[in-house]
A and B are shown apart, each in its own frame.
Chain A
Amino acid sequence: MPPFLRSLAAFALLASAGCSLAPFQAEPPPPAPRTSPAGRGPVISEPPPVTSTMPTEPDVQAPPPSVPVPRERPKVAPATLSPASSALVNLSQTQRKKGDLPGAATSLDRALRIEPSNPLLWIEMGRLRMDQRNYAQAEAMGRKALSMAVGDSHTQASAWQLIADSLRARGKNPQAQEALDKARELGGK
């Protein structure tokens, strides 16, 4: 349904509801409507009418409810780095090549402060942990990246690749193979 129709329908609902339904502004002051974090429609925040049957104004401020959740998760475009993070990742890689691992960590720390929810930075941190031979943390960084890459198969593939490498480095070959299969399935290199 096109958005304008949806709004229209919602308005019709609210207008008719206003005649006898009194849930929306039962007590002052009305808190501002909040959107659920998943962005899938309003979370109506007023208590329901239990005693009151008095008609009240329709709550025209409430955003129209959106369509129910689709079962298929939408695909998300591959994650990218901001120019600032990108510069810091480059710097970190240069530092790594020179063997300056603490310096490389500092640069990634800086990038993570700028974009803490960018899965690519967590994968990069995991790669650094591989160089530091801290394989358990390398895997943990990969898993953290996965949690931030829902729907982004490209980034998921890189994270699984990192996890596979960290498992192999610890001699966990069957699990490493599983992780690698996941990476391949998701279209990684």
Chain B
Amino acid sequence: MAKRKLNPKFRRKLQRGFAIVALLGLLALIMLVAVLDRRVTQQFEGRRWTLPARVYAQPLELYVGQDLSSTRFAAALTRLGYISRSPVDRPGTFRRKGDTVDVYVREFRFSDEKQAAQKLRLSFDGDVVTALANASGTDVPVYRLDPLLIGSIFPIHGEDRIIVSPAEVPALLPEALKAVEDRKFDTHHGVNPLAILRALFVNVRAGQVEQGGSTLTQQLVKSYFLDSRRTLRRKAEEAVMAFILESRFEKADIMNAYINEIYLGQDGRRAVHGFGLASQFYFGKPLSELNLPEIALMVAIVRGPSYYDPRRQPERALERRNLVLKVLAEQGVVKPEEAQRAAKAPLGITNTASRSANYFPAFLDLVRRQLREDYQEQALTETGLTVFSTLDPLLQEKAEAALSDELERQDKGGRKAAHGLEGAMVVTTPQTGEVVAIVGGRRASFDGFNRALDMKRPIGSLAKPMVYLAALQSGGYTPASVVMDSPVELKLESGDLWKPNNYDRKIHGQVTLLRALTQSYNLATVNLGMEVGLGPIAKTYVQLGLDEAPPKYPSIMLGTAQLNPVEVAQMYNTLANGGFRSPLRAVRAVIDEQGKQLKAPELEVSEAAPAEAFYTLNRMLIEVFNRGTARIAQRSLPPSLVVAGKTGTSNDYRDSWFAGFSGGHVIVVWMGHDDNAPTGLTGTTGALQAWTRLMASITTTSFEPLMPEEVEDRWIEYYSGLETSPYCSGSAVSMPFEVGTVLNPSPACPPGITPEEGALMQPLPFAVPTEGEAAIPPGTP
């Protein structure tokens, strides 16, 4: 057989050509591998150190004498993911037996010290903690529960995670992941050719890509580069990168990276990554405390977080969880009877359908803004800071409920304009200026437009106390001073004439400052304000804690200054704090990964102005509840609770406000439409209702400021301001006056009348109503 021989010359050329091509190919391959190596290694090593700051709520302090019942305590523990069980033998468990609660408190690193896990016994008597002792029976004076994790400051692209160390991972989790996702994990080199072949076979038969033969390592690589295109080229690249990872890192590191990296659910804008956060997201407790059915559910979710979403697809999720349990038993990871028992357990997912437990985006928003004053964005999203915030989770939940209940009530009410309202709420503690709750809208868990911070609206009559504060500070006025509630015309800068009206469109004539404020009379306030001057009025805004004074237009007296609810809370917080200004803070402390304390806003106070004017103004604001525009709230508030506050309504009923305080809490409520349409509501019929709901539902104290030394109480007639005696006047009201203030006595019922004398006197008609209101019963809102 004749062989066809190639020309040797040609053959050499061909060989050289092949060699060059092969060499180039090899070079290209080496370069490709080098590029991929760089990418995947950087990602792997970089990721291990990219930790969003974790934000915690304020811890529940336990101490003897505390206002706390065993029921409320058990609820607080449940919220923290503590399990009620007997015996109480490991951290995260408790048992309530009548008025005694045993609890095994988890270890926690606070900003000042690491608190070891400890078993405590608390005794209660109704609403009071009567004893607090440790396991050896020694009394403990005060103890912090581990605080609630309320979120983290994750980067813009929305990945959030809680990093867990291998020690925090239950041993069962990696075993279960291997059994279900990648049985050859311990031995393969990043890819499992057999699995790929099997997948290929299935895919070819199905005519499309259906089954992945991905190892855990490949899944990790895929997650790093956020590309789910299942092209062959991607598959090849993934395989190479998986191979590279395996050759460079230990199996244990890869497993740990997987546990912290993998995508496990979606919460609005926030992508839930890693089992640490997923455990909080689905079960409201740390990963280390998950049991067999819970771990099985997490492993089930890995395959398709939205397809097997246990909140939206509970049946599908349950079916797959039980399949996982079956596989675990088959693979010998757990005993068959354990798996069978676990298969009977419910899913155990925390509360409502669409939201994760314990996620408060509006509050986190404020935390982030305050931290940005001291920290770079990167430090917050990458360096693993721990942030201790001022949020009170219970109060936050009550605030959300109070607002949404009231908005729903309005939805069902007869006022068409008040249907579909939005709202916002801010709660602070007056003495320390801490923000304890923020609601940014009707859907509180929705991370969207934050009305508490980003919405500025005219504050309406919330501005009136500033006019009266300026008047009282000027030294020329007392609550008994009289001012005319009569028509007023002012020429504005624009040249237009401004003719304000009273809310009731009536004219009340000569009125006391006390009455003008409590009844929120516009004309009297403008007349008073023009006497006092716009300069001093504008200045009070700064005294009360705003960065800058509003422009000195006459209309600021009736609240055309536009503020957001947090700014209003700042101002009213200064009122509630008796004139001491404390910049509102949402953060108490920040520590780094090593536990070192970093910069955080400190508690600050400064005296805005002498206390007397503030004390007097606050006493007038209490009367708003006794006889003014907030009188209706008395029906719902505990009778012994003393509160103070002010309604606000902007032009055409576009904004309904209420700002007020007890001794322990300042609450600011806004209600209105996002498009600024009229609501048909006043401050009284709208915001006050939500305010009252919240104030009536929380544990708080009466507003009882100490009377400054230079001041004394005297009785005056509400309508005339004449000094009187409570024993013969039905409109007598006790108001503070500087010692030595001269007051005109009421001729018919002068001061000094004793009860005995009063009993003998003829009843009196009240201060003669002035023209224009003869037929109007005073005090009508």
Within 8 A of A (CB), among B587-635: 588-589, 597, 602-607, 611, 619, 622-623, 625-627, 631, 634-635
Within 8 A of A (CB), among B740-770: 751-752, 754-756, 758-760, 762-767, 769
Contact B619 A37 (CB under 8 A): yes
Counting CB contacts under 8 A, is A175 at the interface? no
- Report if A31-B64 is in contact (Cβ < 8 Å); known contacts: A43-B733, A106-B589: no
The stretch from B181-189, B304-312, B708-716 touching chain A is: B708-716
Contact A68 B751 (CB under 8 A): yes
Please give, as numbers and ranges, the residues of chain B lying within 8 Å of A140 by CB-CB distance: 580, 604-607
Q: Return B254 CB to nearest CB of chain A, in Å.
A: 38
Chain A's closest residue to B730 (CB) is A23
- Report if A13-B626 is in contact (Cβ < 8 Å); known contacts: A32-B639, A148-B706: no
- Report if A102-B142 is in contact (Cβ < 8 Å); known contacts: A41-B726, A48-B778: no
Please give, as numbers and ranges, the residues of chain B lying within 8 Å of A29 by CB-CB distance: 635
Contact A113 B777 (CB under 8 A): no
Contact B709 A47 (CB under 8 A): no
Number of A-B contacts (CB under 8 A): 206
The stretch from B109-117, B353-361, B487-495 touching chain A is: B109-117
- Report if A71-B712 is in contact (Cβ < 8 Å); known contacts: A34-B642, A38-B707, A107-B112: yes
Counting CB contacts under 8 A, is B705 at the interface? yes
- Report if A13-B727 is in contact (Cβ < 8 Å); known contacts: A43-B733, A44-B732, A116-B431: yes
Please give, as numbers and ranges, the residues of chain B lying within 8 Å of A113 by CB-CB distance: 58, 61, 429, 432, 434
Chain A's closest residue to B752 (CB) is A68
The one of A24, A65, A84 in contact with B141, judged by C-beta atoms closer than 8 angstroms, is A84
Contact A12 B141 (CB under 8 A): no
A12 to B432, CA, bound (A): 47
The one of B603, B754, B780 in contact with A109, judged by C-beta atoms closer than 8 angstroms, is B603
Please give, as numbers and ranges, the residues of chain A lying within 8 Å of B606 by CB-CB distance: 140
Contact A45 B639 (CB under 8 A): no
The one of B707, B733, B759 in contact with A9, judged by C-beta atoms closer than 8 angstroms, is B759
Please give, as numbers and ranges, the residues of chain A lying within 8 Å of B602 by CB-CB distance: 105, 137
The one of A9, A12, A103 in contact with B112, judged by C-beta atoms closer than 8 angstroms, is A103
Please give, as numbers and ranges, the residues of chain A lying within 8 Å of B535 by CB-CB distance: none
Q: How large is the interface on B (under 10, 10 to 19, 20 to 34, 35 or more residues)?
A: 35 or more
Counting CB contacts under 8 A, is A188 at the interface? no
Counting CB contacts under 8 A, is B661 at the interface? no
Counting CB contacts under 8 A, is A147 at the interface? yes
Contact B727 A40 (CB under 8 A): no
Q: Return B749 CB to nearest CB of chain A, in Å.
A: 11
Q: Return A34 CB to nearest CB of chain B, in Å.
A: 5
Q: Return B370 CB to nearest CB of chain A, in Å.
A: 16
Please give, as numbers and ranges, the residues of chain B lying within 8 Å of A148 by CB-CB distance: 706
Counting CB contacts under 8 A, is B314 at the interface? no
A15 to B269, CA, bound (A): 67
Chain B's closest residue to A149 (CB) is B706
Q: How large is the interface on A (under 10, 10 to 19, 20 to 34, 35 or more residues)?
A: 35 or more
A120 to B292, CA, bound (A): 52
Contact A48 B766 (CB under 8 A): yes
- Report if A43-B63 is in contact (Cβ < 8 Å); known contacts: A50-B777, A113-B432, A137-B604: no
Counting CB contacts under 8 A, is A95 at the interface? yes
Please give, as numbers and ranges, the residues of chain A lying within 8 Å of B730 by CB-CB distance: 21, 23-24, 44, 46, 48-49
Counting CB contacts under 8 A, is B779 at the interface? yes
Contact B65 A106 (CB under 8 A): no
Please give, as numbers and ranges, the residues of chain B lying within 8 Å of A125 by CB-CB distance: 603
Contact B777 A36 (CB under 8 A): no
Counting CB contacts under 8 A, is B731 at the interface? yes
Binding site for A on B (CB under 8 A): 58, 61, 63-66, 110-113, 141-142, 144, 429-432, 434, 578, 580, 588-589, 597, 602-607, 611, 619, 622-623, 625-627, 631, 634-635, 639-640, 642, 663-664, 702-709, 712-715, 718-719, 726-727, 730-734, 736, 739, 751-752, 754-756, 758-760, 762-767, 769, 775, 777-780
A–B pairs, 21, beta carbons within 8 Å: A9-B755, A21-B730, A23-B730, A24-B730, A32-B639, A34-B634, A36-B713, A36-B734, A37-B702, A37-B705, A41-B734, A47-B627, A102-B112, A105-B602, A106-B112, A107-B112, A113-B58, A116-B430, A117-B431, A140-B580, A147-B578
Binding site for B on A (CB under 8 A): 6, 9-10, 12-13, 16-17, 20-21, 23-24, 29, 31-51, 64-65, 68-69, 71, 73, 82-84, 86-88, 95, 100, 102-103, 105-107, 109-110, 112-114, 116-117, 125, 137, 140-141, 143-144, 147-148, 150-151
* 8 closest cross-chain pairs (CB), A and B: A23-B730, A21-B763, A84-B63, A87-B141, A47-B779, A48-B766, A103-B112, A116-B431
